[in-house]
Protein backbone atom coordinates (compact mmCIF):
# COMPACT_ATOMS: atom_id res chain seq x y z
CA UNK A 1 0.00 0.00 0.00
CA UNK A 2 2.82 2.45 0.88
CA UNK A 3 4.51 1.78 -2.45
CA UNK A 4 1.27 2.56 -4.25
CA UNK A 5 0.82 5.78 -2.27
CA UNK A 6 4.44 6.76 -2.94
CA UNK A 7 3.91 6.36 -6.68
CA UNK A 8 0.77 8.49 -6.52
CA UNK A 9 2.58 11.18 -4.51
CA UNK A 10 5.53 11.21 -6.91
CA UNK A 11 3.27 11.42 -9.91
CA UNK A 12 1.38 14.27 -8.27
CA UNK A 13 4.63 16.15 -7.68
CA UNK A 14 5.78 15.73 -11.28
CA UNK A 15 2.43 16.75 -12.69
CA UNK A 16 2.27 19.85 -10.52
CA UNK A 17 5.75 20.80 -11.68
CA UNK A 18 5.29 20.24 -15.41
CA UNK A 19 1.54 20.68 -15.80
CA UNK A 20 -1.33 18.34 -16.64
CA UNK A 21 -0.50 17.21 -20.17
CA UNK A 22 -2.97 14.35 -20.51
CA UNK A 23 -5.79 12.95 -18.44
CA UNK A 24 -4.33 9.46 -18.69
CA UNK A 25 -1.10 10.64 -17.06
CA UNK A 26 -2.79 12.19 -14.03
CA UNK A 27 -2.70 10.41 -10.64
CA UNK A 28 -5.93 8.51 -10.19
CA UNK A 29 -7.64 7.02 -7.15
CA UNK A 30 -7.70 3.27 -7.90
CA UNK A 31 -11.03 2.94 -6.08
CA UNK A 32 -13.02 5.83 -7.51
CA UNK A 33 -11.08 6.60 -10.70
CA UNK A 34 -10.85 10.29 -9.73
CA UNK A 35 -7.72 12.43 -10.04
CA UNK A 36 -5.79 12.95 -6.79
CA UNK A 37 -3.44 15.45 -5.23
CA UNK A 38 -1.31 13.72 -2.57
CA UNK A 39 1.14 15.31 -0.13
CA UNK A 40 3.13 14.30 2.91
CA UNK A 41 2.82 16.37 6.08
CA UNK A 42 5.61 16.33 8.65
CA UNK A 43 5.31 17.17 12.32
CA UNK A 44 8.14 17.55 14.85
CA UNK A 45 7.67 18.13 18.58
CA UNK A 46 10.33 18.31 21.26
CA UNK A 47 9.84 17.57 24.91
CA UNK A 48 11.77 17.14 28.12
CA UNK A 49 12.29 13.57 29.35
CA UNK A 50 10.89 12.57 32.72
CA UNK A 51 12.33 9.05 33.06
CA UNK A 52 15.86 7.62 32.95
CA UNK A 53 16.68 3.96 32.32
CA UNK A 54 20.00 2.56 33.55
CA UNK A 55 21.30 -0.97 33.21
CA UNK A 56 23.53 -2.03 36.12
CA UNK A 57 25.52 -5.25 36.03
CA UNK A 58 27.55 -7.17 38.59
CA UNK A 59 30.12 -9.47 37.00
CA UNK A 60 32.22 -11.97 38.98
CA UNK A 61 34.89 -14.43 37.83
CA UNK A 62 36.12 -17.41 39.83
CA UNK A 63 37.66 -20.83 39.23
CA UNK A 64 34.52 -22.57 40.49
CA UNK A 65 31.03 -21.65 39.36
CA UNK A 66 29.70 -21.87 42.89
CA UNK A 67 32.34 -19.47 44.15
CA UNK A 68 31.53 -16.93 41.44
CA UNK A 69 27.80 -17.31 42.09
CA UNK A 70 28.14 -16.75 45.83
CA UNK A 71 30.17 -13.57 45.32
CA UNK A 72 27.77 -12.31 42.65
CA UNK A 73 24.68 -12.98 44.77
CA UNK A 74 26.12 -11.11 47.72
CA UNK A 75 27.15 -8.10 45.62
CA UNK A 76 23.78 -7.87 43.85
CA UNK A 77 21.84 -8.29 47.10
CA UNK A 78 23.83 -5.45 48.65
CA UNK A 79 23.21 -3.26 45.58
CA UNK A 80 19.46 -3.86 45.53
CA UNK A 81 19.09 -3.19 49.26
CA UNK A 82 21.00 0.08 48.90
CA UNK A 83 18.85 1.22 45.99
CA UNK A 84 15.67 0.48 47.91
CA UNK A 85 17.09 2.43 50.83
CA UNK A 86 17.57 5.34 48.41
CA UNK A 87 13.81 5.32 47.78
CA UNK A 88 13.50 3.35 44.54
CA UNK A 89 10.30 1.35 44.41
CA UNK A 90 10.16 -2.36 43.61
CA UNK A 91 8.38 -1.61 40.31
CA UNK A 92 11.44 0.38 39.21
CA UNK A 93 13.95 -2.43 39.83
CA UNK A 94 13.88 -5.29 37.31
CA UNK A 95 16.32 -8.10 36.64
CA UNK A 96 17.06 -7.93 32.91
CA UNK A 97 19.68 -10.66 32.49
CA UNK A 98 21.42 -13.48 34.37
CA UNK A 99 24.07 -15.65 32.78
CA UNK A 100 26.77 -18.21 33.62
CA UNK A 101 29.63 -18.52 31.11
CA UNK A 102 32.80 -20.62 31.13
CA UNK A 103 36.11 -18.79 30.76
CA UNK A 104 38.37 -20.59 28.28
CA UNK A 105 42.13 -20.47 27.90
CA UNK A 106 43.46 -18.65 24.84
CA UNK A 107 46.27 -19.64 22.45
CA UNK A 108 49.71 -18.24 23.40
CA UNK A 109 51.00 -15.26 21.36
CA UNK A 110 53.50 -17.50 19.51
CA UNK A 111 50.93 -20.13 18.59
CA UNK A 112 51.76 -21.41 15.07
CA UNK A 113 48.65 -23.50 14.34
CA UNK A 114 50.85 -26.51 13.61
CA UNK A 115 48.93 -28.57 16.16
CA UNK A 116 45.27 -28.18 17.19
CA UNK A 117 44.77 -25.91 20.14
CA UNK A 118 42.43 -27.35 22.76
CA UNK A 119 41.03 -24.65 25.03
CA UNK A 120 40.54 -25.50 28.68
CA UNK A 121 38.02 -24.11 31.13
CA UNK A 122 39.87 -21.81 33.52
CA UNK A 123 36.87 -20.64 35.49
CA UNK A 124 33.38 -19.21 35.27
CA UNK A 125 31.85 -15.78 34.86
CA UNK A 126 28.54 -14.87 36.50
CA UNK A 127 26.68 -11.82 35.21
CA UNK A 128 23.56 -10.40 36.86
CA UNK A 129 22.01 -7.25 35.35
CA UNK A 130 19.43 -4.94 36.83
CA UNK A 131 17.42 -2.24 35.04
CA UNK A 132 16.64 0.89 37.03
CA UNK A 133 13.84 3.33 36.25
CA UNK A 134 14.64 6.70 37.79
CA UNK A 135 11.70 9.10 37.83
CA UNK A 136 13.48 12.00 39.55
CA UNK A 137 16.08 13.02 36.97
CA UNK A 138 17.91 15.21 39.46
CA UNK A 139 19.06 12.00 41.20
CA UNK A 140 20.48 10.16 38.18
CA UNK A 141 24.09 11.18 38.76
CA UNK A 142 24.01 10.45 42.48
CA UNK A 143 22.42 7.03 41.98
CA UNK A 144 25.00 6.14 39.34
CA UNK A 145 27.75 7.13 41.74
CA UNK A 146 26.19 5.11 44.54
CA UNK A 147 25.68 2.03 42.38
CA UNK A 148 29.25 1.95 41.08
CA UNK A 149 30.62 2.45 44.58
CA UNK A 150 28.58 -0.52 45.80
CA UNK A 151 30.00 -2.86 43.17
CA UNK A 152 28.18 -2.39 39.86
CA UNK A 153 31.07 -3.00 37.44
CA UNK A 154 29.08 -3.05 34.20
CA UNK A 155 26.97 0.06 33.64
CA UNK A 156 25.20 1.35 30.53
CA UNK A 157 22.90 4.30 30.19
CA UNK A 158 21.21 6.41 31.07
CA UNK A 159 18.60 6.33 28.36
CA UNK A 160 16.26 9.29 28.76
CA UNK A 161 12.67 8.84 27.74
CA UNK A 162 9.10 9.87 28.59
CA UNK A 163 6.98 7.66 30.80
CA UNK A 164 3.82 8.46 28.83
CA UNK A 165 4.69 9.84 25.37
CA UNK A 166 1.13 9.74 23.99
CA UNK A 167 0.50 13.50 24.37
CA UNK A 168 3.74 14.45 22.59
CA UNK A 169 3.10 11.88 19.87
CA UNK A 170 -0.38 13.33 19.32
CA UNK A 171 1.06 16.85 19.12
CA UNK A 172 3.43 15.65 16.39
CA UNK A 173 0.50 14.07 14.50
CA UNK A 174 -1.53 17.30 14.68
CA UNK A 175 1.46 19.28 13.42
CA UNK A 176 1.86 16.81 10.53
CA UNK A 177 -1.79 17.18 9.54
CA UNK A 178 -1.53 20.99 9.62
CA UNK A 179 1.58 20.82 7.45
CA UNK A 180 -0.16 18.55 4.95
CA UNK A 181 -3.20 20.84 4.76
CA UNK A 182 -1.02 23.89 4.12
CA UNK A 183 0.93 22.08 1.40
CA UNK A 184 -2.24 20.86 -0.28
CA UNK A 185 -3.70 24.36 -0.41
CA UNK A 186 -0.42 25.81 -1.67
CA UNK A 187 -0.04 23.29 -4.50
CA UNK A 188 -3.67 23.60 -5.53
CA UNK A 189 -3.52 27.40 -5.64
CA UNK A 190 -0.19 27.39 -7.51
CA UNK A 191 -1.56 25.00 -10.13
CA UNK A 192 -5.00 26.67 -10.21
CA UNK A 193 -6.72 23.37 -9.42
CA UNK A 194 -9.80 23.27 -7.21
CA UNK A 195 -9.50 20.86 -4.31
CA UNK A 196 -12.33 18.47 -3.66
CA UNK A 197 -12.99 16.35 -0.58
CA UNK A 198 -10.19 14.57 1.23
CA UNK A 199 -10.01 11.05 -0.12
CA UNK A 200 -7.50 9.54 2.27
CA UNK A 201 -5.49 10.31 5.42
CA UNK A 202 -2.87 7.80 6.45
CA UNK A 203 -0.07 7.88 8.98
CA UNK A 204 3.30 6.71 7.80
CA UNK A 205 4.85 4.40 10.43
CA UNK A 206 8.13 6.27 10.74
CA UNK A 207 8.12 5.93 14.53
CA UNK A 208 9.41 8.44 17.01
CA UNK A 209 13.10 9.20 17.47
CA UNK A 210 14.43 7.12 20.36
CA UNK A 211 16.71 8.65 22.95
CA UNK A 212 20.38 7.65 22.78
CA UNK A 213 22.20 5.96 25.69
CA UNK A 214 25.33 7.61 27.00
CA UNK A 215 27.32 4.36 26.87
CA UNK A 216 29.39 2.42 29.40
CA UNK A 217 30.83 4.02 32.51
CA UNK A 218 33.81 2.83 34.50
CA UNK A 219 34.25 2.52 38.25
CA UNK A 220 36.66 5.48 38.25
CA UNK A 221 33.76 7.83 37.48
CA UNK A 222 32.54 7.44 41.05
CA UNK A 223 35.72 8.66 42.70
CA UNK A 224 34.60 11.79 44.53
CA UNK A 225 31.22 13.10 43.43
CA UNK A 226 28.02 12.37 41.54
CA UNK A 227 28.38 11.70 37.83
CA UNK A 228 27.43 14.86 35.85
CA UNK A 229 24.35 14.14 33.76
CA UNK A 230 22.36 16.26 31.26
CA UNK A 231 18.92 15.04 30.17
CA UNK A 232 18.48 17.30 27.11
CA UNK A 233 15.39 17.01 24.92
CA UNK A 234 13.63 14.25 23.00
CA UNK A 235 12.28 14.60 19.47
CA UNK A 236 8.98 13.09 18.36
CA UNK A 237 8.17 12.92 14.64
CA UNK A 238 5.12 12.02 12.60
CA UNK A 239 4.39 11.84 8.87
CA UNK A 240 0.89 11.93 7.41
CA UNK A 241 -0.20 11.21 3.83
CA UNK A 242 -3.22 13.25 2.72
CA UNK A 243 -4.93 12.87 -0.66
CA UNK A 244 -7.61 15.14 -2.12
CA UNK A 245 -9.88 14.50 -5.06
CA UNK A 246 -9.39 17.19 -7.68
CA UNK A 247 -12.15 19.21 -9.25
CA UNK A 248 -12.44 19.94 -12.95
Could you tell me the domains of the chain?
2-48+165-212+232-246 (3.30.110.170), 51-161 (3.30.70.2970)
The strand order across the sheet containing 154-161 reads 93-104, 121-134, 51-62, 154-161
- For residue 52, count other CB atoms closer than 10 A to its CB: 23
H/E segment holding residue 156: strand 154-161
pLDDT in tens, the chain (248 residues): 333 434 333 334 433 333 333 222 345 555 556 788 999 999 999 999 999 999 999 999 999 999 999 999 999 999 999 999 999 999 999 999 999 999 998 888 777 777 787 888 999 999 999 999 999 999 999 999 989 988 899 998 889 999 999 999 999 999 999 999 999 999 999 989 888 889 899 998 865 454 444 433 333 333 345 667 777 788 999 999 999 988 76
- CB contact at 8 A, 166 and 238: no
Amino acid sequence: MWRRLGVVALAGTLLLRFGFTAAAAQPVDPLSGQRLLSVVGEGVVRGRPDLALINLGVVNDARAAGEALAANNEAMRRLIEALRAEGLESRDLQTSNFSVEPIYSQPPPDYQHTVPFEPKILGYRIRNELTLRIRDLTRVGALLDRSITLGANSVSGPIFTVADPSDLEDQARRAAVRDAMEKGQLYAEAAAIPLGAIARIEERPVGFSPPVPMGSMAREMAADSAVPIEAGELTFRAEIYVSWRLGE
